[in-house]
Chain A
């Protein structure tokens, strides 16, 4: 198989991935809420920013987890220095950090936490999407066409 064919396969897989994510987003509007009608200016900008962060995480879970792990490792290394330890203690005691944590957990739906195989999407990401799809799901009419007769 030539390199060109392999790259073409990768490009096609990426296209399929995008299409699948688009389908999931359409079928699970809770993951992709629409902004309030009266939202404008700063409020709309913040909404778009947060939604963009959620799409980036949900759409690229393995990459997001990799970046998350890199930042955590760098943060732990920095915390072992005197400056880092002082900053760590100040962050832990800050109410503003608590507020930011709530924002992040709401946006990311905690899909980056918990176990994950190396270079793979975290388990929590798959569980969230499974819950979203099963709960409000890809309609039975779609799945029924894919299910062989007699298959439970």
Chain B
């Protein structure tokens, strides 16, 4: 499939939604890890890149779930609800 050889059913074969669902699933795994009842022993440590990668997955997953549920979407950065019209426009 190239730009000069389009195929009509490409949208049907797209795995884009599966990709988003996979990211949302990873985000839930991150929340599960955070809720683990076993607490780490030893002195407290600063969050490193590994923890921030997990936070990145959690943030992306939250945003994806927000796309799927625009009525309850939350914007992390501002804490304010996004304009409804803007979210709905994405879903079209």
Query: Are A83 and B34 in contact (CB-based, < 8 A)?
Result: no
Residue A68 lies at the interface, judged by CB distance under 8 Å to chain B: yes
Is A75 a contact partner of B38 (Cβ separation < 8 A)? no
Of the candidates B40, B54, B55, B79, the one whose C-beta lies within 8 Å of that of A95 is B40
Q: Do A100 and B59 touch (CB < 8 A)?
A: no
Interface size on A, residues (CB 8 A): 31
Contact mask A97-111 → B, CB, 8 Å, 1/0? 110110010000000
A41-61 near B? 1/0 per residue, CB < 8 Å:
000000000000000000000
Q: Is A15 an interface residue (CB 8 A)?
A: no
- Rounded to whole Å, the gap between the CB of B52 and the closest CB of chain A is 3
Residues of B within 8 A of A (CB): 30-36, 38-41, 44-47, 49-60, 62, 74, 76-77, 79
Main secondary structure of the interface of B (DSSP, over half): helix
Known contacts A71-B52, A92-B51, A101-B50, A77 near B40 by CB under 8 Å: no
A94, B33: Cβ atoms under 8 Å?
A: yes
Identify A87's interface contact among B34, B40, B50, B74, CB under 8 A: B34
Asked, given contacts A82-B79, A87-B31, A92-B47, whether A98 binds B40 with beta carbons under 8 Å apart, the answer is: yes
15 sampled A-B residue pairs with Cβ under 8 A: A74-B55, A74-B56, A74-B59, A74-B60, A76-B52, A78-B76, A82-B79, A83-B76, A91-B34, A91-B51, A93-B40, A95-B36, A96-B32, A96-B38, A113-B49
Given contacts A71-B56, A87-B55, 4 further A-B contacts (CB under 8 A): A72-B49, A92-B45, A97-B50, A97-B51
Which partner residue on chain B sits nearest A74 by CB separation? B56
CA distance A5 to B89 in the complex (A): 41
In the complex, which residues of chain A have a beta carbon less than 8 angstroms from the beta carbon of B59? 74-75, 77-78, 84
Cβ-defined contact, A96 with B50, below 8 A:
no
CA distance A83 to B59 in the complex (A): 10
Q: Which of B36, B51, B76 contacts A96 (CB 8 A)?
A: B36
